[in-house]
Each structure stands twice: as structure tokens, then as C-alpha cells.
């Protein structure tokens, strides 16, 4: 990569806020942005995991600003926005909406309360936090990267609420790209396939089922394997960077070819 490419991935002096930063893709993105010089605001409700990620980031970059908060609660979202604005004096260059949950279920087995919970966690939280932080992003002509899923592009069985929520994230991404593009803010999403995180187990999958799921997933991805959080983090950093200065409204599959696979 030439000097121009290196400059394009330099986030020195840039303020980056990441939700869902305590584990998985959010944690990998935090560490990668840290190595690239970013000033980080890291958000998660899991305080212990958040502290662990902050310590890892400090080994390679600046000390992050950690905020323990529950994105299911609008007052805590307001607190997160206020604290970030005060800490970085109204500057925000990159917002990564990475928090989310993945419960399984068909229409028959999904209760209304579960559906509401998924939409609040995966859609409403990002909508409201983005709305509150939009003045800072507009001021900096910043970039938004939403963490969606291959499930936003293709429907998969036993995931009705999750499929719907991620399709909504994709439409949110495209809508914001149209509305904010004229004001200099780019908005994109990454759509991961199966990634080695705790998402499935947090959604209720036991150890044996998870191991079987991972083995089966080798056959459902064109590359013959599942992905690693760092591979999604790299795509997030690219989309947030100057290397992607003419890219907006994109829902980028980072899925080892899963969304082009067809059963035979």
C-alpha cells in the first residue's frame, strides 16, 4: 500500500464511537481503530468486557473513553450521547452502530415481547443514538457504519425477528445515505456472515449445538469457513476511512460468499 493508502487509513485526531464494543465485532473494531490512531468512545452494557477491551486498546493506542450503558433504555442512550459530546467537545468523526442481539424463532414461537425486544435492540437503539449524535457528525462531515447481517440481504429460517430487524438496519442505512449525503456525511453498513463471536450462544444456542452449527457453516460459505471478527473490523475501518470517500449507501457483505450460495 502506498503512502496515500496509509494516509487514508490514518484516524489520528479522529473521534470514533463504537457500540457493542465489549466483545465480538465491536471489540475487534475498537482494537483496529485504536491501532490506526483514533480517539475512542466505547459503549457496552457489559462493563467487565468493556474494561478488558479498553486495556487491550491502550497497548496499541490512546486510552479510550469507556461508557457502560444499556441501549435498550432511551435515557441511557441520551446519557451516552451527552457524555461523548462533553468528553470530545462536540467532535465525532465516525459512529459505528455495532450493538445487537440474535434470538432464534419462527413466527409461531416468537412472542410479541421478544419481537419488540429485538427491534428495540437492533433498530431503535441505533436510530436514536444516531439522531442524538447527528449534529456532531454533520459538523465533522463524518461517517456512519452500521453493523447489519447477511440476514438483512437474505432470509434464513428460524430467525424471523432478527431477519426483519437487519433488513430495517439496511433500509436505515440507505435512507440516511440519501438524506445526509448532500451534507457531507457518508452512511454504509457491513453485512457479516457467520463470524466467530458469542452472538449465537447469547441468543440461546448451547455448546454442542453451536459446535455443530460452526461445522455446518463451513458448507454454507463459499470460502469453506466462517469469518473472524477482525475481518469484519477491517471492512468497517475501510468504510469509515478516506479510502471510501466516494462510497455511501452500501450494504457490504463480509460473509465468505454466504449470500450468493444456493442449496443444491
Distance CA 77, CA 25 (A): 20
162 is catalytic: yes
CA distances to 10, 93, 142, 159 from 126, rounded to whole Å, are: 25, 16, 16, 20
Q: At what angle do helices 74-87 and 125-140 cross, to 10 degrees?
A: 20
| CA–CA separation, 28 and 81 (whole Å) | 22
Rounded CA separation 15/68 (Å) = 18
Contact 255, 192 (CB under 8 A): yes
- The answer to whether 96 and 19 have CB atoms below 8 angstroms apart is yes
Query: Can you tell me the distance from the alpha carbon of 124 to that of 57, in angstroms, rounded to the nearest whole number?
Result: 28
Residue 146: strand, helix, or coil: strand
Contact between residue 153 and residue 190 where contact means Cβ atoms under 8 Å apart: no
Provide the β-strand partners of residue 114. Answer: none
What DSSP assignment string belongs to 44-68?
ES-HHHHHHHHHHHHTTSSPPEEEE
Asked if residues 240 and 94 have their Cβ atoms less than 8 Å apart, the reply is yes
- Which of 65, 88, 162, 210 is catalytic? The answer is 162
Task: State the catalytic residues.
Answer: 162
Amino acid at each position: 500500500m502506498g503512502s496515500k493508502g496509509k494516509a487514508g487509513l490514518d484516524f489520528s485526531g479522529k473521534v470514533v464511537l463504537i457500540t457493542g464494543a465489549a466483545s465480538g465485532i465491536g471489540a475487534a473494531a475498537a482494537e483496529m481503530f485504536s491501532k490506526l490512531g483514533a480517539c475512542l468512545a466505547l459503549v457496552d452494557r457489559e462493563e467487565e468486557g468493556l474494561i478488558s477491551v479498553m486495556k487491550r486498546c491502550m497497548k496499541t493506542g490512546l486510552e479510550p473513553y469507556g461508557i457502560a450503558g444499556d441501549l435498550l433504555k432511551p435515557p441511557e442512550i441520551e446519557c451516552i450521547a451527552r457524555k461523548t459530546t462533553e468528553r470530545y467537545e462536540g467532535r465525532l468523526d465516525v459512529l459505528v452502530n455495532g450493538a445487537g442481539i440474535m434470538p432464534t424463532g419462527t413466527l409461531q414461537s416468537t412472542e410479541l415481547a421478544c419481537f419488540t425486544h429485538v427491534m428495540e435492540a437492533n433498530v431503535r437503539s441505533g436510530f436514536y443514538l444516531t439522531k442524538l449524535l447527528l449534529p456532531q457528525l454533520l459538523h465533522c462531515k463524518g461517517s456512519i457504519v452500521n453493523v447489519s447481517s447477511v440476514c438483512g440481504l437474505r432470509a434464513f429460517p428460524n430467525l424471523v425477528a432478527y431477519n426483519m430487524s437487519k433488513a430495517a438496519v439496511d433500509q436505515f442505512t440507505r435512507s440516511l445515505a440519501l438524506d445526509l449525503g448532500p451534507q457531507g456525511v457518508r452512511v454504509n453498513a457491513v453485512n457479516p456472515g457467520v463470524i466467530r463471536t458469542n452472538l449465537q450462544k447469547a441468543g440461546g444456542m448451547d455448546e454442542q449445538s453451536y459446535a455443530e452449527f460452526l461445522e455446518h457453516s463451513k458448507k454454507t460459505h463459499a470460502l469453506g469457513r466462517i469469518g473472524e471478527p477482525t475481518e469484519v473490523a477491517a471492512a468497517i475501518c475501510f468504510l469509515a476511512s478516506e479510502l471510501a470517500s466516494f462510497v455511501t449507501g452500501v450494504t457490504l457483505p463480509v460473509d465468505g460468499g454466504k449470500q450468493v450460495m444456493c442449496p443444491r
